[in-house]
Amino acid sequence: MDLGQPYEGAARERIDASVELWSRNVRVVGERLGAPVVLGEFGLDMSGPGAPEFVSRMLAETESMAAGRVYWSNDHDGWGPWDARAEGDELTPGPLAHVMNRAYPRAVAGQPLELGPDDASGALSVRYAENGASGATELYLPEDVFGEEFDLTVDTPAGDDGWTSRWDGGRRVLHVTVTGAADGDETVLTVAPS
């Protein structure tokens, strides 16, 4: 998808309509083929008008689709995660790094139904159907939003005794394991900054 114009004003409305059409069509193809959706690459020069908002928009769209995605760049200019720097200076995160560093599920122990962060509150919610998967749901929680403390709510038919959690502060990953839920049961995990 090529913007070809700033992501602001009337152009933003046209671009949003295009993203919605793309999303709808990709979902139909994925369902028809019974295949996962993976967005292999997207990006733009972060110095352009509305660029951070467009990247945030694409992140939200792929999250709503439960699609895999990749944003890879190590450019030391507006296209990459680093601010431009003088020779010999330390690399510092730029606007792209700040937009991309958001809470997300690294793994979901079931069929994802709805997921994504709430940009206003910073909370991350993941709703999924149990399907016999083993292991934990893993949630990445960025330090600048969650710090070292957060509130976890687990809504599952297995009840309060039907789940455990473990925090890996080094990797900033919360592991939540639900036991005792039957296939098809829906579980909702919500993590909010304290």
What would the pLDDT profile of 75-93 be if each residue is shown by its tens digit?
A: 777 788 888 676 777 888 8
In the chain, CATH 2.60.40.1180 covers 104-193
Q: What is the model's pLDDT at position 78? A: 73
What's the one-letter identity of residue 24?
R
Give residues with Cβ within 8 angstroms of 39, minimum separation 6.
58, 62, 67, 68, 69, 70
**pTM, to two decimals:** 0.83
Confidence of residue 3 (pLDDT cuts 50, 70, 90): low
CATH of region 104-193, choose from 2.60.120.260, 2.60.40.1180, 1.10.274.100, 1.10.10.1590? 2.60.40.1180
Q: What is the pLDDT of residues 21-77, one digit of tens each?
A: 999 999 999 999 998 887 777 777 888 889 999 999 988 888 888 777 777 777 777
Residue by residue, what is the 3-state secondary structure of 78-114? CCCCECCCCCCCCCCECHHHHHHCCCEEEECCCEEEE
Q: What is the model's pLDDT at position 86? A: 67
